[in-house]
Structure 1
Amino acid sequence: MNKTIIIVDDHRLFAQSLQILVNSFEGFEVIKAFKNGEELVKYFQEGNVSPDIILLDMRMPVMDGMATMEWLKENHPNQKVLTLTVDQEDETIIKMLRLGCRGYLLKDIDPEEFEHALNAIDRTGYYSNKTISEALSREERKQKYEELTERELEFLGHACSELTYKAIAGEMNLSPKTVENYRESLFSKLHVKSRVGLVIFAIKEGICEV
């Protein structure tokens, strides 16, 4: 029996093309296509059977992808959802994953990857790709950056210079022991083991320039 798919996308031409593509994949069949989340909600509220996977766009009128995902998390938390959109903002990707989205694809992907994603979600429940991993990596770095105190950031800036730790202590009007504590704190927070690691992090985050 084919796995059932529902498409939620307000672009009719894209939705129709997507339906043709999905139906060409072995083992998958589109049973419904809706223009927005509100139509999907109505479908569920009328007692219709849940599809195996929902293909969800982000930018839609009436009820967008985020609002739809929030409703699904509250009312159908086990529903498998694959986002298919042009929105590649890290914040959007992270929020959708936290709401229970099982995968996140951009609309310019190759059909082969799309089919692979559907099969992965069907078999394992999830699909991870470069878009997701890079967003998660940037989010992790952002969280690390936000954990740093002003004095730790000041020390990090000095660490990117040619100053010795003793000279940095002088610049910051601190004892060498206190500067050492800042260094060890940063090693722990940023999961690095050397001054080089500190510098690499600072360069990536734009804290210092080379």
Structure 2
Amino acid sequence: MTEQIRVLVVDDHPVVRQGLRTFLDVQGDLTVVGEAADGAGCVAAAVELDPDVILLDLRMPDSDGVDALRGLRERGVRARVLVITSFPEAATVLPAVRAGAAGYVYKDVDPPALVAAIRAVHAGHVLLHPEVARLLATGREHSGDRRLTARERDVLAEIARGRSNREIARGLGLSEKTVKTHVSSVLAKLGVQDRTQAALYAVRTGLVNAD
């Protein structure tokens, strides 16, 4: 049996939620486990339903997508978040990425591409629309990468490819304990809070490709 990817759909428009549910539920490996209409509802539903992927709109009344991302992080929700929005401007994109979004696509995305994006984010990849990657590239640059050792850069590249500590250790010929130490050092030097933000940094600075 194909492993089911449990999806939570968050959008303030009922017709959008219903359309996404109808489309996603016919995919063999996707199942919509719930819906929410705003950021607070997203956090509550995620805590209750424990989805694998959250498909999140950004512009919603009361509490928006960035509020949701922050709330999810505060509550320790494990789900990967794929932002789907109509607004490409940097003022909207950058806060969402910094708050922990693992992927970012636009609402005019082709349906098969959306399904592929959900699968990719669930698999641990960082997924950015090319225009989003360009916006990030023009944002504030960090100096932390200049303080990384060569080995830490290797580890960061592997993080950006969605590899676990065990996989990184195997690929680089290191112990898992050593990899864990390198990961902690990378996060501290870059001034980021988790592996997803470190991966986004690696993509933005061109250390790895955004595809």
What TM-score results when the alignment is normalised by the length of structure 1? Answer: 0.61
Deviation at 1:16, TM superposition (A): 0.5
Q: Which runs of 5+ in 1 are unaligned?
A: 145-210
Specify the alignment match of 1:39 in structure 2: 41
Deviation at 1:92, TM superposition (A): 1.9
Specify the alignment match of 1:75 in structure 2: 75
Q: In structure 1, which of residues 18, 23, 40 is the aligned counterpart of residue 25 of structure 2?
A: 23
Deviation at 1:123, TM superposition (A): 1.5
Q: Is the 8 A contact 1:77 1:100 kept in 2?
A: no
Q: Is 1:94 matched with 2:94? A: yes
Q: What whole-Å deviation, never above 9, does each CA across 1:80-123 have from its counterpart, x for those lacking one?
A: 10001111111321221111101011101111211111111121
Q: Is the 8 A contact 2:33 2:49 kept in 1?
A: no
In structure 2, C-alpha distance between the alignment counterparts of 1:51 and 1:108, rounded to whole Å: 24
| Corresponding residue SS for 2:49 | coil
In structure 1, C-alpha distance between the alignment counterparts of 2:85 and 2:38, rounded to whole Å: 13
In structure 1, C-alpha distance between the alignment counterparts of 2:78 and 2:31, rounded to whole Å: 20
In structure 2, C-alpha distance between the alignment counterparts of 1:79 and 1:44, rounded to whole Å: 8
After the TM superposition, which residues 2-151 of structure 1 pair with which residues of structure 2 at under 5 Å, given as runs? Answer: 2-44=4-46, 48-76=48-76, 78-139=78-139
Look up the equivalent residue of 2:70 and give its one-letter code.
E
In structure 2, C-alpha distance between the alignment counterparts of 1:5 and 1:91, rounded to whole Å: 27
Look up the equivalent residue of 1:13 and give its one-letter code.
V
| Corresponding residue SS for 1:7 | strand
Q: Is the 8 A contact 2:34 2:45 kept in 1?
A: no
In structure 2, C-alpha distance between the alignment counterparts of 1:81 and 1:131, rounded to whole Å: 18
Greater Rg over alpha carbons, structure: 1
| Corresponding residue SS for 1:60 | coil
Specify the alignment match of 1:156 in structure 2: none
Q: Is the 8 A contact 2:82 2:104 kept in 1?
A: yes
What TM-score results when the alignment is normalised by the length of structure 2? Answer: 0.61
Specify the alignment match of 2:171 in structure 1: none
Look up the equivalent residue of 1:101 and give its one-letter code.
A
Look up the equivalent residue of 2:100 and give its one-letter code.
G
| Corresponding residue SS for 1:124 | coil
Q: Is the 8 A contact 1:104 1:131 kept in 2?
A: no
In structure 2, C-alpha distance between the alignment counterparts of 1:49 and 1:5, rounded to whole Å: 10
| Corresponding residue SS for 2:71 | helix
After the TM superposition, which residues 171-210 of structure 1 pair with which residues of structure 2 at under 5 Å, given as runs? Answer: none
RMSD of aligned C-alpha atoms?
A: 1.9
Deviation at 1:39, TM superposition (A): 1.7
Task: Report percent identity of matched pairs.
Answer: 27
In structure 2, C-alpha distance between the alignment counterparts of 1:11 and 1:124, rounded to whole Å: 28
